[in-house]
Amino acid sequence: MNTCTIRCLKPVCGTSGSIIYQVGDGGADHAYWGPPELQTGTRPSYAGKNISCVLANEAAVFALSHITGIGGGDINTAKALYALAENAKSDADYTAANGFYNSWSGFYDELVWAAIWIYLADTNANKTYLQKAETYFANLNASDYKWTQCWDDKKYGAILKLAQITGKKVYVEWVERYLDWWMKGGGITYTPGGLPYLDSWGVLRYASATAFLAKIWADYPAVGTAAKKTTYKNFANSVINYILGNNPANMSLKFHREFIFVYGNLFNQPPNKGFVVFGEGDGLLPEESVHISDALFLLVPPGGFQLELLLFLPQAVNLVGHVVVVGPGGGPLQKLLLQFCQPFIDVGKGLICS
């Protein structure tokens, strides 16, 4: 994803200094049900200067790419993007995403997040950006800890990194208050099968994102409450094990090339066609189809979904963009499961990283 972002992010031609932040109309894109390569019509782009949430986020991408050496990112571009975000301190031009991907958390979480990664990427050990991160921490809604790291809100990972870097009590206590809320009895709802349930829009992505942060915290001995480390690690392991098969549906994921296959005794009905199409298309399109041995396919049993199956199956769809959903008799899964089944990059990060 870093490589894609770095290649695509560029100033709009001209002297306006605007940056493209979105390609595609949200309404048109969400109304289309099929593979993206078959979508017709225009693909408008949207640009702006006052898009601090995007600019700072991309600054973090460039900085992290500089650290890893993957994707072609560089620290100078990261700093330049950060300067644009910091000077604007506004999301006034970030309007095309309204109704779909609003920046509910604002832009200060991205300013903290990006400053941390620029600080870590700067071989000159310049603490200017660490100071920026700590300064902007004061603008975060620190009382809001009952969520987790996601495409919108970066403060969870940002504060965890501040705690690791500085060891300061205010950050350490915040991280553990957040993680404690995710533990059984801490406040979050758990399903009968033992899965923490935050929100219906990608149930396992939130649980796996928290598992990833919990594992990072548990594996870092220099800061944090030692007595809690085992609890956090056990939580992380239980979430990932749930996804990999230790769940009431007895479903598991197997990785093959870039695809993720779902196995389980609930899905024992073979599809009735040798070829199926990527995506949640309205039908099978032979010219754009692939053999089922090369694709992710999910067989939906007749009848309703049990809660645990409903939670598990949609997230499996979310994990990758190359998705085939096959219902009973080979038909497509009902569109009413969009909120569970919509695949995008954010949903797989926790599982992959953990």
Digit-coded pLDDT (tens) for 146-200: 999 999 999 999 999 999 999 999 999 999 999 999 999 999 988 877 889 888 7
In a domain, 187, yes or no: no
Is 80 exceeded by the pLDDT of residue 303? no
Domain end (from 66, 84, 105): 105
How far apart, in Å, do the first and last CA atoms of the chain sit?
17
Residue 328: per-residue pLDDT: 38
In a domain, 179, yes or no: no
Q: Which domain holds residue 18?
A: 1-105
In a domain, 223, yes or no: no
Q: Please, which pLDDT band fits residue 136 given cuts at 50, 70 and 90?
A: very high
Mean pLDDT of 305-310: 34
Domain end (from 69, 85, 105): 105
In a domain, 215, yes or no: no
In a domain, 266, yes or no: yes
Domain end (from 54, 79, 105): 105
Reported pTM: 0.79
| Tens-digit pLDDT profile for residues 33-49 | 655 667 788 889 998 99
In a domain, 53, yes or no: yes
CA 115, 119, 122, 125: dihedral to nearest 10 degrees? 150
Q: Please, which pLDDT band fits residue 64 given cuts at 50, 70 and 90?
A: very high
Is 70 exceeded by the pLDDT of residue 299? no
pLDDT-wise least confident of 154-158, 220-224, 302-306, 313-317: 302-306
- Compute the residue count for the chain: 354
pLDDT-wise least confident of 3-12, 251-260, 323-332: 323-332
Number of domains in the chain: 2
In a domain, 260, yes or no: yes
In a domain, 73, yes or no: yes
Mean pLDDT of 211-219: 98
